[in-house]
Amino acid sequence: MATEPLSRGRIVTAAIGLIEREGADAISMRRVAAELGVGVMSLYNHVPGKDALLNGVAETVLSQVEFTDDPDAHWTDRVRGQARAFRQIAHHYPRSTMLVVSRQLHSTAGLLPVERALATLRGAGFDGADTVRMLRMFIAYIVGSLLREVGVTPTFAPAQTRTISADGVDPALFPEVSSLASLLGECDHEEEFEFGLDLLIKAIEAYAVQGEGRREGRKEGTR
């Protein structure tokens, strides 16, 4: 009955499993150790502490995103594909998503998607400054969308709509909210995501041609 030796990898995997099964709050060094059938302190031979463990979880989840990127496709389609790939995190690891999104990763796992996105945008003809701006805009949108999808941050819309449909919001105080209650109460995450993604891509497409025109036309400054 020789069990596999303890390792950082095994510990991280166990942590991910625990999070997905019982939620991010349920995680503790002691629970993870119990999961693996070892003493708590054994973990510390492979992981510096809880914080590092959670970083490991985030890195591992992120590194498992499948970025199938067709270099010959139009850049708008490539951006779309990359955004969708990212969204898969919310599907495969819903309860770890918050972790992926809220931990700043210093590993190559975090850098690879960035490298691809930058390359795609540069390829579309944006200069360095615009490329970085675009990337940040997309990341903001994607992060916000994932958090909504994953249940964190229905800050308003769907969540208290339960209260709305149930208790009923005072229509005098909140006429729009109550008249749109049924729409606010449901949410097709995929459609919602695609809608915004589409708008975003169209917006930067328009920005691109406008920038070109300006650059070719009268040779103006940046932006």
Partner DNA sequence: ACCTGAACACCGTTCAAGT
Which tokens in the block code for residue 49?
């502490």
CA distance 40 to 78: 45
**Among DNA, its own copies, none, what binds residue 85 when CB lies within 5 to 8 Å by partner kind?**
none
State the CB neighbour count (10 A cutoff) for residue 169.
Answer: 19
Q: d(Cα 8, Cα 46) in Å, to the nearest integer?
A: 5
CA distance 131 to 120: 9
Q: Which is nearer to its own copies, 6 or 131 (CB)?
A: 131
8 lines the binding site for DNA (CB under 7 A): no
> What would the two tokens of residue 118 be?
């930058």
For its own copies, the closer CB: 40 or 183 = 183
| Interaction between residue 118 and DNA (CB under 7 A) | no
CA distances from 50 to 45, 107, 177 (A): 12, 17, 42
**26 lies in the site for its own copies, by CB under 8 A:** no
The only residue of 13, 20, 24, 29 in contact with DNA, by rule CB under 7 A: 29
Q: Is the dihedral of CA 28, 34, 39, 45 positive or negative?
A: negative
Site for its own copies in 102-141 (CB under 8 A): 102-108, 110-115, 118-119, 122, 128-129, 131-133, 135-137, 139-141
Task: Please report whether residue 175 would count as binding DNA according to CB under 7 A.
Answer: no
30 lies in the site for DNA, by CB under 7 A: yes
d(CA 6, CA 1): 14
* Cβ at position 160, least distance to its own copies in Å: 4
- Round to whole Å and give the CA distance between 24 and 135: 28
Binding DNA by CB under 7 A: which of 24, 38, 105, 143? 38
| Residue 222 binding its own copies, by CB under 8 A | no
- Interface pick for DNA out of 21, 22, 23, 28 (rule CB under 7 A): 28
Q: Of its own copies, DNA, none, which one does residue 46 interact with (CB within 5 to 8 Å by kind)?
A: DNA
Torsion angle defined by CA atoms of residues 100, 144, 127 and 71, in that order, rounded to the nearest 10 degrees:
60
Q: In this structure, which amino acid lies at residue 21?
A: R
Task: Write out the two tokens for 4.
Answer: 């596999």
- Which one of 38-46, 57-65, 94-102, 122-130 is the stretch in contact with DNA (CB under 7 A)? 38-46
- Residue closer to DNA (CB basis): 42 or 210: 42
Binding-site ranges for DNA (CB under 7 A): 5-6, 27-31, 38-42, 44-46, 49-51
